[in-house]
Structure 1
Amino acid sequence: MPRIDNPVIGFLEDDARRLHYPHDDALVVSLQIGDYNMHRVLVDNGNSAGILYYPTFQQMRIDRERLTPTNAPFMGFRRTKVFPLGAITLSMKAGDYPQQITKEVTFLVVDCSFAYNAILRRPTLNSWKAVTSTYHLMIKFSTKYGVGELRGNQIAARKCYIAMLEMENQQQKMCIEKQRALAESVEELEEVRLDDTRHERTTKIGTLASWPVRQMLTTFLRDNQDVFAWSHEDMPRIDPSVMVHKLNVSPSFPPIRQKKQVFAQERDKAISKEVRKLLEAGFIREVYYPDWLANVVMVKKANGNWQMCIDCTDLNKACPKDSYLLPRIDTLVDSTARH
């Protein structure tokens, strides 16, 4: 085939075809590393060390004795020092024949959980003489026979993003639980009534403050009790001219109608009660075009009452950029403190 010296690398609007816009997705590609086709490889221009995660290293069935010891730590994504198990040099192939490039790449093997299998960094891209475009989700590089291309996988990028959020959420939960175990109450709390005509409207204040200060605080809370939400009716809707929330649903996902579930009598009564409250407050309304349905999920709280939630599994798949950190969205108002 004819060789092309110094090909010009550029990006056209046609290179952005088949992408869902607007997007801020990461550049996630698939490469041949060693003898394996490896997916979920993150391209990161910001750092200098290529990363191969240990679970991926194990699946490649590479003998650990091939690792070269290294003592140089690097800064991880969570701003903590990470010490690699070692370094290994592997052959990596990118692009389609004949616009293809093969290079030897050195990876640091890291023993930690991550959504990606590997990370490509600046030295590798420089050795390719590669140009990246996060808008087009594409890498272009010079070869002997023209410009080679490597397209990013937008669906894989969004799945990795959701997986990263779930990992961070789990770590945050563990941290919160640990702090709760170590935390101790520094003072006793006193319950004060804010409305003498409505006994359920109460709150708690600390008892370490002097009596005049507590009296002033109680008076202040009573004068401003309109900022508390005691029921659904106390939370009027926000004018759409101020703020509107819309779901960024991917057009590649068709509407999903879940099969109707049958609940036990106790749960069915709790559902009817909560739905009635939401209807009276104007939070929900009945619709007659149910193309997308999701069953409610009933969760029993510590006080024995039922809490009605929504299963957002299908919604999370269709809205990867609007993903929720929890598997269910709480649709109720439990207490003033929470809202």
Structure 2
Amino acid sequence: MKLDKRRIKHFTSPLVSFTGDRIIPRGIVTLIMIASTYQALITKEIDFLIVGCPSTYNIILGRPALNRLRAATPKYYLKVINEPEPIFEPSETPQEVEVTLGDSSKVLKIGLAFPTLKKEKMISLLRANQDVFTWKHEDMLGIDRKIIQHRPNVNLECKPVQQKQRIFTLEHNKAVTEEVEKLLEAGFIREVFYLD
């Protein structure tokens, strides 16, 4: 990038990668960054760490930089937001809303801090899409195993090692047993027997 060496400041804290490798950056430099989308433009000074390691990226923007740019970063796009959305504090006593009218067993809770118009839109959205909610394990249709299936990553050449039995309090043990029974009844899990 042909940076003036005098602009690069000393930086000694190591970066730790997902694999646990530690890299000491060569330095830190402050650059002016311009982020834009249609009808929106933001210019900010952003601190970049200079790292000497192979990468498929020229730069990596972290959360502090994205927060300064006020950028929303869903997986498939990047959008710069001009005005902040109001942040509603959770209310102490949320309003219970029947998703299916007349069925008090199917209830969701909405914070009272929402403005009335937004609250009404939220309630109508929830009621219009009530088919996506499941209230019991048996209501879940499951996922076709052709799409996804969990398989333990096991080397068949290695001898299996049995985990130590975990000891829970009576209260936790009861909760775990109840949850396992629900999953067994719904057919989400099954008991497997191994030879010792």
TM range (shorter): 0.3 to 0.5
Structure showing the higher strand proportion among its residues? 1
> Which protein, 1 or 2, shows the higher relative CO under an 8 Å CA cutoff with sep ≥ 6?
1
Pick the structure with greater CA Rg.
Answer: 1
Q: Structure 2-normalised TM-score?
A: 0.47
